[in-house]
Amino acid sequence: MNFSQYVDRVRAVCDAHGHALNLNPGAAESVLEAVEAELGFLISAGARQAWLRANGAERDEPVFMQPGYLTAYDFLPLEKAIAARARMADRAPRYVGYAEPALRDARIRDGWFHQGWLPFASFGGATLLMMIDHSPTEAGTPGQIIAFTHDPDQITWVAPSFEALLMGSIAEIEADPEEFLGEY
């Protein structure tokens, strides 16, 4: 599933429940290239396609769900994704010596920030973040999706790719649209 197909299905759920899906216009190719130059790596193809289609959405506009969780995530515009990444880098030193409540998945590097992590979705002002992991361990896959969860603070594995996340996300949304749209 690509992002355009995903958006069509999310929009159908929104329309069926009287909600509008307000995505921002897509980012320009030149903007993505500048961000990639700043990051020092190419953004995974699926996420890149998503930002070209829509440069995020308005705040408190649900676009994604993490498979297995009852929380809808906002789609971050590129500039907010870069800002969230910078906040993670600033916050990481405070976590030195912190023990996660569960052993971290072997596909994810130790630590609280890596140059290859790029947030793309958030809930609660970065209380929850989903990120594209461009620097996994040898057991992981470049472009896998990981999540930061606050309280208890932990980094967890979500999906092997952006495309796999889209499949899991739409399954959650279509199974429980009221939760996704905040109609509870």
Q: Which of 5, 17, 7, 12 is nearest to 181 (CA)?
A: 17
Residues of the chain with pLDDT under 70: none
- Give the chain's domains with CATH numbers: 3-181 (3.40.1580.10)
CB atoms within 10 A of CB 154: 14
- State whether residue 158 is helix, strand or coil: strand
- The pLDDT value recorded for residue 126 is 74
- The pLDDT value recorded for residue 41 is 97
For 103, the token pair is 């052993």
- The pLDDT value recorded for residue 11 is 98
- The pLDDT value recorded for residue 60 is 85
pLDDT in tens, 134-172: 999 999 999 999 999 988 889 999 999 999 999 999 999
**Within 13 Å and on the Cβ side, how many CA atoms surround 118?**
27
- The pLDDT value recorded for residue 102 is 86
